[in-house]
Amino acid sequence: MISQRIKTLAPSPMRALDAKAKQLQADGKSVINLCLGEPDFSTPDHINAAAIKAINAGFSHYTATAGIPELLEAISQKLKKDNHLTYTPSQISVGVGAKQILYALFQVLCDPGDEVIIPTPTWSTYVEQVKLAEGVPILVSLSAPFKLTAEDVEKYITNKTKILLLNSPSNPTGAMIDKTELGKIAQLAIKKNILILSDEIYEKIIFGKTEHVSIASLGSEIFQRTITINGLSKAYAMTGWRVGYAAGPQEIISALNNFNGQVTSHTASISQKAGVAALSGTQQPVAKMVREFAKRRVVVLKNLKAAKGLEVIEPEGAFYFFISVKKLLGKKYVTSEAWCAALLEKAGVAVVPGEAFFAPGYFRMSFAASESELQTACDRITQFVNNKD
């Protein structure tokens, strides 16, 4: 009954694990769930207030597919101020989260057999979405600390390469691409006539010295072949509101609007009003959340020091640790997947195995949880590892 296309679609591994953790919790087991990729903060009050105002004003009708003019203008201003990018509102399209925008872009850009280069470890959604668009994901496997270089990419370019996917800071590694390397990647993309999809959804959540740079800001030629993707989920703790957007060449954005016009129409009218408040209002809640994340990152770094055999790499951005368990694999646990299943069963900590990111031998641990939860999780992991459970 089900189409071949959907039969071969891998289920979202994070959601499956999250469900298992919740089931154990429902059965009365103490489980710290560090699987999902969402801030544990509430949406800031002034954003909620804007949405409530919109509801009370009856702002409940269909809007333009690309989004309301106010929101497109707010995004245009944000891209100018934060990213040094000049996009007119007509070069911007808002969708139902960055995930849906990415899906639509692959549908709009890929012909059957077009190759999309995706550096791994990576968020599995990119890979599945490329396949759904009949494109071919070409995975470029990076070693720790997972910083992509132009040289890594060049080896995988063929005459079928259409798109290079960039995600800096990265989910799941937190690694960032620095400006010099981005410049080299841009030159390569120009020389080889490749489009760039730059997913910058974690741009605000950074901790190290590396500054976030939008590749499209590095010159007019790369600007013309880049689609910049972003959204409100992570920076403004708005995962449930479903607001994501793309900015890029007019031809591509018009095609994206055409596609969404037949598929989703637009994201919720109320969410769009909330989005205007998020982007145009005070940015202090964002800074506050990032300060909290920074403190939690230190809690994990400190508290996992005693866990023998784990290799902890310091994330530069996002809110994940991507930790190697390679030294702990052997007879008892052959794969990181088995190791993570045992960690959940025996120690009550839910993390996502590297297999879910095309990087076996690792696990991803979100630090979007309270300091006390993280402290307990680290204690449990350390005990699990040191007792060789």
- Contacts with ligand PLP by CB under 6 A lie at 37, 97-99, 123, 167, 171, 199, 201, 231, 233, 239, 244
Q: How far is the CB of 122 from ligand PLP (least distance, A)?
A: 8
Distance in Å, CB of 352 to ligand PLP, minimum: 11
Contact 299, 381 (CB under 8 A): no
Cα separation, 267 vs 243, in Å, equals: 7
DSSP string for residues in 53-86: HHHHTT--S---TT--HHHHHHHHHHHHHHH---
When CB distances to ligand PLP are compared, the closest residue is: 97
Compute the least distance from the CB of residue 97 to ligand PLP, in Å.
3
Q: In terms of DSSP bridges, do strands 161-167 and 115-120 run parallel, antiparallel, or are they unpaired? A: parallel
Quote the least distance from Cβ 111 to ligand PLP, whole Å.
Answer: 24
Taking the least distance from each CB to ligand PLP, the nearer of 33 and 303 is 33
In this complex, which beta carbon is closest to ligand PLP, that of residue 226 or of residue 303? 226
State in angstroms the smallest separation of the CB of 43 from ligand PLP. Answer: 13
Sort strands 92-95 and 244-247 into parallel, antiparallel or unpaired: antiparallel
- Measured from the CB atom, the residue of 235 and 328 that comes closer to ligand PLP is 235
b/e code 73-110 from CB counts within 10 Å (16+ = b): bbbbebbeebbebebebebbbbbbbbbbbbbbbbbbbb
Cβ atoms within 10 Å of 48's Cβ, excluding its own? 15
Measured from the CB atom, is 186 or 246 closer to ligand PLP? 246
163 backbone dihedrals φ, ψ, rounded to 5°: -135, 145
Nearer to ligand PLP, 37 or 348 (CB): 37
Q: In this complex, which beta carbon is closest to ligand PLP, that of residue 97 or of residue 285?
A: 97
Question: Which pair of structure tokens corresponds to residue 358?
Answer: 């095309």
Q: Which is nearer to ligand PLP, 37 or 361 (CB)?
A: 37
Taking the least distance from each CB to ligand PLP, the nearer of 22 and 53 is 22
Nearer to ligand PLP, 161 or 233 (CB): 233
Closest distance of CB 56 from ligand PLP, Å? 26
Dihedral pair phi/psi, residue 337, rounded to 5° = -65, -45
Residue 244 CB, nearest approach to ligand PLP (Å): 4
Q: How far apart are CB 243 and ligand PLP at their closest, in Å?
A: 7
Contacts for 197 with CB less than 8 Å, ≥ 6 apart: 102, 105, 163, 164, 165, 166, 226, 227, 229
Residues 301 and 293: beta-carbon distance below 8 Å? no
Does a cis peptide bond (omega within 30 degrees of 0) precede residue 121?
A: yes
Contact by Cβ (8 Å): 289, 39: yes
- CA atoms within a 13 Å half-sphere pointing along the CA-CB vector of 13: 21
Q: Which two tokens mark 117?
A: 């280069």
Looking up tokens 């591994």, which residue turns up?
Answer: 13
In the complex, the smallest distance separating the C-beta of residue 158 from ligand PLP, rounded to whole angstroms, is 25
